[in-house]
Amino acid sequence: MKKSNQHWAKMEERGSRVGLKILLWVYRVFGRRLLWLVLFPVVLFMFLTGSRARLASYQFFKQAHRVNSDVPKPSFYTSLKHFCQFADSAFDKLDAWLNRIKQQDLTYNDSQVFPRLVEQNKGAIFIGSHLGNLEVCRALSYGKYTTKINVLVFTDHAVKFNEMLQSLNDGVAINLIQVGAMSPALAITLKEKVDNGEMIVIVGDRTSVTQQNRVEYVPFLGQDAAFSQGPFILAALLDCPIYWFFCFKEKGGFHVIFEHVSNGLSLPRKQRDIILKEVITAYAERLAYYAVRYPFQWFNFFDFWQKDETVSRRKEK
């Protein structure tokens, strides 16, 4: 099977924990600017040897440029810059947990969304993506509200990164829920959390780690792409307010966007397929809208338009 058909979750995790610790030490002792003297050769090596991710970057910019000519054309330089932005985003996360990013560094399209939900003791589900940097918002929300924020993750990579964060700040308490697949038991647990006024965060731009063909093919940047049904079915089961959720780095700080979708999503059996496709299409449209405005913050380094039925969910040997 071709490498390009490997599932995103089974791509080889590159780098080592020792390497990360060395970079973190340089970062904490010497700061971010000097860190790049050490980091750039690492990023360049990953770029030159990471053919799959490099091709994915090229493909994304090719599609995005076709849709909006303001997006840079795909090129060696464009993709290298893309890799550097991805590396830099990891240190934005660390800055947030080390209190180097403050509340005043954030702007909102609606700063009252979260406070209103907390005041009304209403749980909600926020459907985000790997466009931008949601980690910054999660870190900055910590300690500001007593309301719990539960983040669903689908691989152990996120858990390892969480352990690294906690080594920097013992006060960090991230409510990560590692999910292999959606199940009735998980849905019941999350429903209880929402009914208690807690928040759920999930991404909608990754297909299932374990289950094939649980997707809808909808237009994304001029070509049909597979989007998982799971997050949207979960939103319907939770019967709570639904928001699209984005956080983008801008000059001088970060811009946080909450877009209200519905106060509750209903999927009656006869209309289930139609409504599900409609809501996933709406999500893909908003994702595409922001992707061409913040193209270097697109952090899906795999073939986003691959057919889900041809994808291998087994690790390559």
**Whole-number pLDDT of residue 142:** 62
pLDDT in tens, 188-224: 899 999 999 999 999 999 887 777 778 999 999 999 9
Residues 257, 244: Cα–Cα separation, whole Å: 8
User: What average pLDDT score do residues 259-286 get?
Assistant: 95
Lowest-confidence pick of 10-24, 194-208, 283-297: 10-24
pLDDT over threshold 70, residue 265: yes
Instruction: Give which of 167, 160, 124, 161 is closest to 262, Cα–Cα.
Output: 124
pLDDT over threshold 60, residue 11: no
Residues 162, 286: Cα–Cα separation, whole Å: 28
Which residue did the predictor score with more confidence, 168 or 33?
33
Across the chain, which distance is largest between two alpha carbons, in Å? Answer: 61
Residues 127, 259: Cα–Cα separation, whole Å: 10
Q: What confidence tier does 34 reach under pLDDT thresholds 50, 70, 90?
A: confident
Q: What confidence tier does 111 reach under pLDDT thresholds 50, 70, 90?
A: confident
**Whole-number pLDDT of residue 114:** 86
State pTM to two decimals.
0.88
**Look-up of token digits 């490099």:** 54
**Whole-number pLDDT of residue 314:** 58
pLDDT in tens, 172-182: 545 777 776 66
Which residue did the predictor score with more confidence, 3 or 256?
256
> Which value, in Å, is the radius of gyration of the alpha carbons in the chain?
19
User: What average pLDDT score do residues 47-67 get?
Assistant: 95
User: What average pLDDT score do residues 64-85 get?
Assistant: 97
